[in-house]
Structure 1
Amino acid sequence: MLTALLGGTFDPIHYGHLRPAISLASEVGLKQISLLPNHIPPHKPQPEASTEQRLAMLKLAIEDLPLFALDVRELLPKASTRPSFTIETLQAWRQENGDSEGLAFIMGQDSLLSLPTWNKWQTLLDYCHLLICRRPGYAKNTNNIELQQWIEVHNTSNAQDLHDSPHGYIFFAHTPLENISATEIRLNINNQASCENLLPAKVWHYIQQQELYCAKK
């Protein structure tokens, strides 16, 4: 069984996370996607919502979607005092599940192009496949020669490769273009605009109940 991890700040979780992931699962045959909330993301501003609030929104978003599960390892006390590095999470997953289990890590094209800034990025494929979701406005190729060569060496267009090997491939998925961002949602809420069509209804109601992302009075 091929399992996938989808990391993020999820501040808040929205359809731009969920819809491409659901499409991706259908395209490549994923049986489960574990959402992996970051505690201290090294490449992004710190979350506005608390850890407890982000977890509550994640649980509400996926409670009727059996495809999804939660992996909170990066929120545990030992991990929550410093930045969350993907490579360490993948190493820990491998140690727990063995070398023969199939694992994929889902990321957007924007994250793929920023990989040279990630900790030990060249070793990611020693532990997992990379499933790349398209992002509006981002090109498939990069001017970084080392990264481009690495992508070309490991790229496959055959989804079966992801099942035949436990790690080692990069797959560009034909996911829908969902031009939604958490930054946009937070800004809209701060400007008292509705975001009801951008995220699950239960999450939207929770945000309103908690008065999240509103201008501080």
Structure 2
Amino acid sequence: MSELHALFGGTFDPVHFGHLRPVEALAQQIGLARVLLLPNNVPPHRPQPEASPAQRVEMLRCAIADRLLFAVDIRELMRETPSWTVATLETLRAERGPQPPLGFIIGQDSLLSLASWHRWKDLLSLCHLLVCKRPGYAAEMGSPEMQRWLEDHLTADAQQLHQQPAGLIWLADTPLVNISATEIRQRRHQGLPCDSLLPPAVIDYIDRAGLYLK
């Protein structure tokens, strides 16, 4: 049986404990062997991150230097065009083959809006969805049809995530870490400390790079 690996995407502008701690708790719950952090390429019609792609990658590397669960995968930053999650998963499937179990980690907020994602119905043919709680979001889907879809794919048996390559949804009992990158950037703009919000090595890098100082 192959080890269960998962992907976790985000802008990571900057990476913080709200990203890392729920995923570490999830990994412990279900026996995740490795989590690939995927910094997103931001489409032209979206607000651009304050940090450059290279700076966002470097902050991730600082954050995970002592966290062996994580690795950084920069494939989405290499694309000129917006990177759809389903396309990234298809590429990984082509690399790894059809059998190894693969998870995609999302927050409760993303699960609730999943029907607006590009080719969302194809996701479960490629991976399991591993859902972390998010503060302030509903527990149920927005329509009876989506709620039925969720219930049809739910599992409460973590072993199934290791035994099947894809197709299941796991609702993780992860800690609610109410931290946002927006809040961190605003605190930095105001000269306020962020010591409890992100790893010390990331704060050191932000200081050295002169980020978020407006």
TM-score (ref. length: structure 2)? 0.95
- Partner Cα distance (1:213, 1:10) in 2: 13
CA contact (8 A) 2:112 2:142 kept: no
Counterpart residue identity of residue 141, structure 1: E
Superposition pairs of residues 87-102 of structure 1, within 5 angstroms: 87-102=86-101
In structure 1, the partner of 2:144 is 145
Matched residue of 1:180: which SS?
Answer: coil
Superposition pairs of residues 1-217 of structure 1, within 5 angstroms: 1-40=3-42, 45-76=47-78, 79=79, 81-215=80-214
Counterpart residue identity of residue 201, structure 2: K
- Partner Cα distance (2:144, 2:192) in 1: 43
- Partner Cα distance (2:116, 2:171) in 1: 20
CA contact (8 A) 2:50 2:212 kept: yes
Counterpart residue identity of residue 147, structure 1: M
Structure 1: which 5+ runs fail to align?
none
- Partner Cα distance (2:128, 2:191) in 1: 41
Identity score, percent: 53
Counterpart residue identity of residue 205, structure 1: D
Q: 1:103 to 1:43 in 2, by over 3 A?
A: farther
CA contact (8 A) 1:36 1:70 kept: yes
Q: 1:25-77: per-residue Cα shift (whole Å, max 9, x none)?
A: 1000001011011112589632110001001100000011111111111112x
Q: 1:84-142: per-residue Cα shift (whole Å, max 9, x none)?
A: 21000000000000000110000000111111121000110000000000001111202
Structure 2: which 5+ runs fail to align?
none
Q: 1:212 to 1:54 in 2, by over 3 A?
A: same
| Consecutive aligned runs of 4 or more in structure 1 exceeding 3 Å deviation | 41-45
- Partner Cα distance (2:44, 2:65) in 1: 29
Q: 1:142-182: per-residue Cα shift (whole Å, max 9, x none)?
A: 22333222111111111111011010000000111100110
Q: CA RMSD in A?
A: 1.4
- Partner Cα distance (1:40, 1:117) in 2: 17
Count residues with an aligned counterpart: 212
CA contact (8 A) 1:9 1:41 kept: no
